[in-house]
């Protein structure tokens, strides 16, 4: 099978599918992948670009579920460890081990788990339940070793630290694209900038939907036996459009991380909290020579939703808590290079805390169209596990009969971009070769707009200053004349 993400609308519309996935974030892509490798004819449509919303703005950590041990949620812990290991095994070029250090103080900061005895027990249980883990087991450090690994640690009341391993995806946008390429290798098809508009139902059963190409404005029909709504922050809106409103699917909370123009404070990710009672734990992650801090949550007020991002007061409050947790950090608003924000499901309407469990709703089980499901996920780590559960729900409803075991389709060879520095150097030495490299990315990975290239196929535009240089370089290489493969002939 071809591992090209082929934006051929005419050919896609002529097909008939077992499963049509609406939404091209990590939940939609993992579902398309798991469906295709179980023998289902699968098409994914995304109204914007792949992985461009909450997936792109995440903290990029694949958590093993250590925090679940605090509530003795062993099932979710095992699932998180298993899924983290799956990504580490299958994407060793994109997913790497990440040492995490939590300083421990007296009195404890950030909750009950942050006591040496509690951490020792949690790490022991983690090791016991993760015998086949691909990462070293965690351990407690003394105060001196903690300060050596984190020289800026608040030493007042310092009792040591807990050190464990998680996984990190420095370029989450590349993980999205490589997983989608693998889905295409398994037989799936994927179309970006195509919006699902109206469900087609006959005799109470899903028969497909009408979609619109947002580039040309043309409408077309797609035949499918089942539709999975994986539209992320828009899952409830799409459910309302295709069937009816389902408030249980999504009540929004704003989640945001800050990219700071500061050198990393440690080679490890740091889990820090201020001395204030009930203070939140923050992660400070070394990322591309800078500091990535998160995750903060804020109620999704009408003002916030209208502005489309957290306001200055929320950012200033976040920075204030970081500065209280790390004396001498002195991070200010002028050091914020980018606010990476998105919307997650809230624990309740108007809440400032995110939900903790995914939701899979079979619309046909309570009077809706048979063969329509809606999925609302909560974290990157377990997206693939939720995809497997979604296929079980679809099979139980009689809409699909996926193969019981996935086919052994090897992941295609990676198709990475050059770094911006290497492409700039190549353009100076061999302009034609640089142009060919850029054209290949556009054609093979369905790049429609320049921001797709700069933010969701490469990291060239994540830093706004480097992004300006990338825009000039792409313009000089004539990127405007490139098109995704066969898109020009689509209709």
Q: pLDDT tens, 384-441? A: 999 999 999 999 989 899 998 999 999 999 999 999 999 999 999 999 999 999 999 9
| pLDDT given at position 40 | 97
**Structural domains of the chain, count:** 3
Report residue 244: phi and psi, to 5°. Answer: -160, 170
| Within-domain flag for 402 | no
d(CA 342, CA 326): 26
Residues 203 and 307 in one domain: no
The DSSP bridge partners found for residue 252 are 345
Please compute the mean of the pLDDT values over residues 82-86 and round it to a whole number: 93
Residue 333 reports pLDDT greater than 60: yes
pLDDT of residue 186: 97
Whether residue 325 sits in one domain with residue 227: no
Q: Are 12 and 219 in contact (CB under 8 A)?
A: no
- Name the band, by pLDDT with cuts 50, 70 and 90, for residue 485: low
pLDDT of residue 488: 38
How far apart (Å, rounded) are the C-alpha atoms in residues 150 and 268? 8
Least trusted range by pLDDT, from 8-12, 47-51, 311-315: 311-315
Which CATH number covers residue 320? Answer: 3.30.9.10
Task: Give a yes or no: residue 405 inside a domain.
Answer: no
Roughly what angle, to the nearest 10 degrees, separates helices 74-90 and 116-129? 60
pLDDT score of 172: 95
Positive or negative torsion for Cα 452, 458, 459, 465: negative
Mean pLDDT of 50-69: 87
Could you write out the three-class secondary structure of 12-46?
HHHCEEEEEEECCCHHHHHHHHHHHCCCCCEEEEE
Residues 6+ apart with CB under 8 A from 306: none
pLDDT range class, residue 22, cuts 50, 70, 90:
very high
Q: Do the Cβ atoms of 343 and 235 come closer than 8 Å?
A: no
Whether residue 228 sits in one domain with residue 145: no
User: Which pLDDT belongs to residue 489?
Assistant: 36
Note the pLDDT of residue 277: 84
- For residues 119 and 224, give the distance between their C-alpha atoms in angstroms, rounded to a whole number: 50
Counting every residue written for the chain, the total comes to: 491
pLDDT range class, residue 474, cuts 50, 70, 90: very high
**CATH number of the domain within which 178 lies:** 3.50.50.60
pLDDT reading at 307 higher than 70: no
Q: Roughly how many angstroms between the first and final C-alpha of the chain, as a whole number?
A: 24
Note whether 131 and 262 are same-domain residues: yes
CA 393, 395, 399, 403 torsion: positive or negative? positive
> Under 8 Å CB-to-CB from 256, ≥6 apart: which residues?
57, 294, 295, 296, 298, 309, 310, 314, 315, 318, 339, 340, 341, 342
Q: What is the rounded average pLDDT of the residues 231-257?
A: 93
- Taking residues 352-375, report their average pLDDT: 93
**In this structure, how many other beta carbons lie within 10 angstroms of the beta carbon of residue 80?**
24
Query: How far apart, in whole angstroms, are the C-alpha atoms of residue 420 and residue 463?
Result: 12
- Is the pLDDT higher at 420 or at 73? 420
- Whether residues 288 and 164 fall in one domain: yes
Q: Which residue has the tokens 């950030």?
A: 110
CB 465 within 8 A of CB 261: no
Q: Are 353 and 253 in contact (CB under 8 A)?
A: yes
Q: Is residue 71 part of a domain?
A: no
Report the C-alpha gap between 373 and 19 in whole angstroms.
11
> What is the average pLDDT score of the chain?
91
Whether 308 shows a pLDDT value over 70: the answer reads no
104, 164 contact by CB (below 8 A): no
Q: Taking the mean position of all CA atoms in its chain, how far away is CA 268?
A: 21
Classify residue 474: in a domain, yes or no.
Answer: yes
Query: Which has more confidence, 350 or 449?
Result: 449
User: What is the percentage of the chain residues whose pLDDT exceeds 90?
Assistant: 74
Q: What is the pLDDT of residue 490?
A: 41
Do both 161 and 266 map to the same domain? yes
Q: What is the pLDDT of residue 487?
A: 43
The verdict on 468 and 332 lying in the same domain is no
Q: What is the pLDDT of residue 167?
A: 95
pLDDT, greater one: 27 or 307? 27
Assess if residue 70 is contained within a domain. Answer: no
Task: State whether 219 and 283 are in the same domain.
Answer: no
How confident is residue 18, by pLDDT bands cut at 50, 70 and 90?
very high
Mark whether 257 and 305 lie in a shared domain: yes
- Position of tokens 């389709």? 409
Q: Please give the average per-residue pLDDT across 154-171, as a whole number.
A: 94
- Which of 27, 48, 59 is CA-nearest to residue 359? 27
Is it the case that residue 211 has pLDDT exceeding 80? yes
Least confident of 90-104, 165-179, 303-317: 303-317
149/262 same-domain check: yes
Residue 328, SS3 per DSSP: coil
| Residues 6+ positions from 238 with CB-CB distance below 8 Å | 22, 23, 196, 229, 231, 374
Give φ, ψ of 454 to 5 degrees: -80, -25
Distance CA 245, CA 347 (A): 18
Kindly report the pTM of this predicted structure.
0.94
Distance CA(360)–CA(372), nearest Å, equals 11
* Residue 99 pLDDT: 96
Cβ(361)–Cβ(236) below 8 Å: no
Do 438 and 392 reside in the same domain of the chain? no
Query: Does any domain span residue 27?
Result: yes
Going from the C-alpha of 212 to that of each of 63, 240, 486, the distances in angstroms are 37, 18, 17
Is residue 404 in some structural domain?
Answer: no
Lowest mean pLDDT segment, chosen from 103-112, 249-258, 389-398: 103-112
Whether 61 maps to a domain, the answer reads no
Q: What pLDDT shows up at residue 362?
A: 96
Tokens of 346: 């809230």
Based on the fold, state whether residues 164 and 180 are members of the same structural domain.
Answer: no
pLDDT of residue 1: 55
Closest among 450, 445, 449 to 177, alpha carbons compared = 445
> What's the pLDDT score for residue 113?
66
User: 205: pLDDT confidence band, cut at 50, 70 and 90?
Assistant: very high
The pair of structure tokens assigned to 336 is 């914020």
- Domain housing 467: 420-489
* 461, pLDDT greater than 60: yes
């Amino acid at each position: 099978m071809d591992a090209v993400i082929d934006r051929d609308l005419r050919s896609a519309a002529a097909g008939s599918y077992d499963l049509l996935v609406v939404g091209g974030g990590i939940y939609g892509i993992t579902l398309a992948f798991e469906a295709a490798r179980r023998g289902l004819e699968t098409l994914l449509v995304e109204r914007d670009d792949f992985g461009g919303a909450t997936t792109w703005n995440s903290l990029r950590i694949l958590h093993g579920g250590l925090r679940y041990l605090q509530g003795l949620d062993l099932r979710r812990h095992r699932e998180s460890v298993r899924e983290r290991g799956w990504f580490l095994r299958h994407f060793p070029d994109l997913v790497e081990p990440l040492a995490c250090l939590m300083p421990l103080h007296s009195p404890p900061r950030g909750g009950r788990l942050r006591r040496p005895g509690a951490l020792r027990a949690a790490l022991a249980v983690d090791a016991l339940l993760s015998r086949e883990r691909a990462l070293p087991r965690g351990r407690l450090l003394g105060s001196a070793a903690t300060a050596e690994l984190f020289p800026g640690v608040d030493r007042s009341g310092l009792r040591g630290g807990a050190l464990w391993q998680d996984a990190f995806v420095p370029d989450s946008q590349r993980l999205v694209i490589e997983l989608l390429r693998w889905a295409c290798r398994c037989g799936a098809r994927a179309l970006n900038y195509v919006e699902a508009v109206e469900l087609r139902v006959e005799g109470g059963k899903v028969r497909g939907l009408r979609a619109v190409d947002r580039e040309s404005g043309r409408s077309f029909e797609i035949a499918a036996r089942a539709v999975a709504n994986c539209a992320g922050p828009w899952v409830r809106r799409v459910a309302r459009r295709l069937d009816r409103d389902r408030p249980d699917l999504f009540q929004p909370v704003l989640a945001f991380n800050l990219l700071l123009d500061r050198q990393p404070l440690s080679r490890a990710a740091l889990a820090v909290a201020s001395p204030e009672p009930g203070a939140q734990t923050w992660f400070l992650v070394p990322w591309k020579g800078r500091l990535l801090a998160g995750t903060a949550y804020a109620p999704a007020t009408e003002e916030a939703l209208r502005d489309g991002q957290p306001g200055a007061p929320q950012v200033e409050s976040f920075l204030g808590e970081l500065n209280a947790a790390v004396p001498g950090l002195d991070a200010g608003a002028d050091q914020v290079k980018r606010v990476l924000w998105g919307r997650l499901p809230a624990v309740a309407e108007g809440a400032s805390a995110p939900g903790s469990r995914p939701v899979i709703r079979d619309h046909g089980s309570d009077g809706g169209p048979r063969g329509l499901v809606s999925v609302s996920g909560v974290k990157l780590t377990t997206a693939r596990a939720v995809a497997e559960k979604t296929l079980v729900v679809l099979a139980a409803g009689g809409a699909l009969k996926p193969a019981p075991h996935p086919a052994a389709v090897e992941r295609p060879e990676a198709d990475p971009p050059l770094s911006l520095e290497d492409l700039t150097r190549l353009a100076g030495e061999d302009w034609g070769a640089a142009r060919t490299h850029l054209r290949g990315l556009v054609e093979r990975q369905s790049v429609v707009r320049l921001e797709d290239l700069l933010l969701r196929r490469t990291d060239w535009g994540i830093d706004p200053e480097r992004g300006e240089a990338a825009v000039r370089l792409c313009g000089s290489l004539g990127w405007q004349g490139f098109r995704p493969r066969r898109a020009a002939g689509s209709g």
